[in-house]
Amino acid sequence: MAEILLSLTIIGVVAAITLPSLTGNINERTWNTQRKALYARMSQAVALMPALNGYGVLKEETDSAGSTSIVDTAAETFITGGLAKVLKINNICDYEHLEDCGIPEKYNDILGSKHSFPKYIGDLNSDFMAPSSFWGGSYSLLNTRLAAFETANGESVAVFYNPYCNYKDENVTYYYYSQQTICANLIYDLNGRKGPNTYGKDLGFITFIYPTNTLVLMPMPYNSIAGYTTAKLGTSLCREKFGEDAKLLDRFEYAALFVNKNLTGLNFNNGTYQLTSSRYVSSAGRTRYWHFNFAEGIYRADDNDAAGGIYCVKRN
pLDDT at position 60:
62
pLDDT at position 315:
78
The pLDDT tens digits of the residues spanning 238-266 come to 999 999 999 999 999 999 999 999 999 98
Give start-end residues of each CATH 3.10.100.10 domain in the chain.
219-316
Cα–Cα distance, 10 to 13 (Å, whole number): 5
Task: Compute the C-alpha angle 112/196/37, nearest 5°.
Answer: 110
Phi–psi pair at 133, nearest 5 degrees: -140, 150
Q: Where are the alpha helices (DSSP H) in the chain?
A: 2-47, 74-78, 84-86, 121-124, 234-242, 251-259, 261-264
The pLDDT tens digits of the residues spanning 33-65 come to 999 999 999 999 999 999 998 887 766 666 566
What does pTM read for this prediction? 0.87
Cα–Cα distance, 308 to 262 (Å, whole number): 23
Q: What CATH class is the domain 219-316? A: alpha beta
pLDDT at position 136:
47
SS3 149: strand
pLDDT at position 49:
95
Stretches where the chain sits below pLDDT 70 are 1-26, 58-70, 130-140, 172, 270-272, 316
